[in-house]
Amino acid sequence: MAPPAPAPLLLRDKVVVVCGVGPGLGRAIAVQSARAGADVLLAARTERLAKEVAGEVTSLGRRAVTAVTDVTDDELAAVLPSAALDAFGRVDALVNNAFAIPPLAGLADVDLDAIRAGFETDVFGALRMTRLFTPALSASRGSVVMISSAVLRHSRTPFGPYKMAKSALLGLARSLATELGPQGIRVNSVAPGYIWAGSLKWYFGQLARQRGVSVRQVYDETAAGMDLRRLPEPDEVADAVVFLASDLARAITGQCLDVNCGEFHH
């Protein structure tokens, strides 16, 4: 696939807070936001990862600030708005990408405490961060983007606990869109399907070794069920986030944008 064209400056001089910065989608959201003209606050549990991504952001000529945090911890999370405002003076977009993988097990047998633990990050963490940033987003008439998943579109075993968490996150986003709309804050979701990046590449490698076939064969078999016959790349999902955070989406709220190369239609 040819490299994408440079992103237009959809976020020129805006400030984006990315909660949940890792080597995959979180990194892509931060970097694509910078390419679109934004300064970025990078919030992660691991300082090393945040600093690596910060280096990429600054290499693009934008400012980056890192913050070690945990979206499940009231005290740690509470310092993020002031960190962003002290560094940049404003916040225009909050991206809730922090994620804890729920147990992959049937709902008849899954441990309920394990489901609760996933909800703490995936749902309550997103609500906590949105509430903390509401005053700053109200001042800028900004937006929130929740990172959901294509698991919303199917009920395959053993993804029941995962679907529970992401369905709750979608309901949260839609209710917040209604509650925060009068303050000028838009709230939307992006639901990626497969993302062709580190963890999925590792998983496909495992499948290929188990079956004695090539990774390319596993990829092609998976992509055969998608309209575009390929899997989305992290930057493509991130570009959807950039769009929803930008003024091009100024009349869009309460919506979920699927990015799955046509695996599901919604």
Distance CA 110, CA 258 (A): 28
E runs forming strands in 84-225: 93-96, 143-147, 186-192
Distance CA 210, CA 52 (A): 34
Check pLDDT > 80 for residue 60: yes
Among 150, 169, 157, CA closest to 107: 157
Averaged over 240-261, what is the pLDDT? 98
Check pLDDT > 90 for residue 36: yes
Report which secondary-structure segment, H or E, holds 179: helix 160-180
Cβ–Cβ under 8 Å, residues 19 and 98: yes
Note the pLDDT of residue 142.
98
Note the pLDDT of residue 7.
57
Indicate the angle between helix axes 126-140 and 80-88, nearest 10 degrees: 30
Provide, rounded to the nearest whole percent, the portion of the chain with pLDDT above 70.
Answer: 97
- The whole-model pTM stands at 0.95
Check pLDDT > 60 for residue 6: no
Among 28, 53, 56, 58, CA closest to 42: 53
Averaged over 96-112, what is the pLDDT? 94
Check pLDDT > 60 for residue 128: yes
Check pLDDT > 80 for residue 189: yes
E runs forming strands in 152-249: 186-192
Instruction: Point out the catalytic residue in the list 162, 194, 203, 219.
Output: 162
Averaged over 179-191, what is the pLDDT? 98
Phi and psi torsions of 240, nearest 5°? -65, -35
3-state percent breakdown (helix, strand, coil) of the chain, nearest 5: 50, 15, 35
Averaged over 216-245, what is the pLDDT? 98
**Catalytic residue at 162?**
yes
Note the pLDDT of residue 40.
98
Domain ranges of the chain: 15-195+232-259, 196-231
Alpha carbon separation from 192 to 33, 92, 108, 126, 195 (Å, rounded): 17, 23, 27, 17, 7
Distance CA 123, CA 168 (A): 7
Note the pLDDT of residue 5.
53
- What is the architecture of the domain spanning 15-195+232-259? 3-Layer(aba) Sandwich (3.40)
Cβ–Cβ under 8 Å, residues 33 and 9: no
Note the pLDDT of residue 82.
97
Per the model's pLDDT, the better-predicted residue between 212 and 46 turns out to be 212
Query: pLDDT-based confidence at 2, cuts 50/70/90?
Result: low
Distance CA 177, CA 222 (A): 34
For tokens 């090393």, name the residue. 48
Put residue 13 in one of left, alpha, beta given phi > 0 → left and psi -120 to 50 → alpha: left
Averaged over 201-225, what is the pLDDT? 97
